[in-house]
Amino acid sequence: MITPVEVKICGLTSEADAGLLAKYGADYGGIVMFYPKSKRNTEADIAGMIVDKLKKSDIKSVAVVVSPDMEQIDIIEKTGFDYVQIHGELKEEVYNRTGIPIIRAINIKDDDVSSVKESVEWCRRKDKITGLLLDAGVPGSGKIFDWNNVKDLQLSGKKIILAGGLTSDNVEEAIKTVKPDVVDVSSGVEYDDPLTKGKDENKVKTFIRNVRKR
């Protein structure tokens, strides 16, 4: 029996976005925090409302942060998140302070596969890291990387989460190539007009349908 691939929709900015995940059956919802450079950055009070909405549908909430400090970790945990997804630097004291499971993001640069293997080995030894998110060299760029560089990764006991440029058109091929536990999408389910904020319902529906049709 084939294990179902889970779906993570990232970059939620409203309760309406969370409602789409509940409607079409996503497994995780990601919320960007403490990163003003991102158009998806969300303040803690709004994030709390989104988290509450997700919990009502048993969808796991993920705080998405870059090089967090201990104060930010405390806020994330008080807000009620189930996971924290860490990009950038993960300091030892932050790792030790964190009381919820960590998803560690690794940016895949096609010309530097060796450093990826080193990062994977480090994560393998860390008990609090329960998932490894494989993203493009520039996170949030909506670009894919060479999936063949990671298709043979073995992470016993930790989930492999594939991100970076996924859309409803390429997600089936991505799953066949990498065989991830989770697929992660953000810009691929947003409106074509970059000025329109939030998730496009039809794109969310189609993306999840294409993952589930296996």
| Whether pLDDT at 140 is above 60 | no
Mean pLDDT on 98-106: 97
Catalytic residue among 10, 27, 123, 184: 10
Mean pLDDT on 26-46: 97
What does the pLDDT look like over 47-69, one tens digit per residue?
Answer: 999 999 999 999 999 999 999 99
Please give the distance of CA 134 from its chain centroid, rounded to a whole number. 9
| CA-closest candidate to residue 187, choices 84, 53, 40 | 40
pTM of this prediction? 0.94
Please give the distance of CA 114 from its chain centroid, rounded to a whole number. 23
Whether residue 10 lies in the annotated active site: yes
Question: What pLDDT does residue 151 have?
Answer: 75
Question: What pLDDT does residue 50 have?
Answer: 98
Catalytic residue among 17, 27, 135, 184: 135
CB 80 within 8 A of CB 47: no
Task: Please count the helices (runs of H) and the strands (runs of E) in the chain.
Answer: 7, 8
DSSP state for residue 187 in the 8-state scheme? G
Give dist(CA 131, CA 124) in Å, integer.
9
What does the pLDDT look like over 68-90, one tens digit per residue?
Answer: 999 999 999 999 999 999 999 99
Question: What pLDDT does residue 208 have?
Answer: 98
Give dist(CA 165, CA 144) in Å, integer.
4
Longest CA pairwise span in the chain (Å): 44
What does the pLDDT look like over 142-163, one tens digit per residue?
Answer: 678 888 878 777 667 899 999 9
Instruction: Name the strand (E) or helix (H) holding 210.
Output: helix 201-212
Whether residue 123 lies in the annotated active site: no
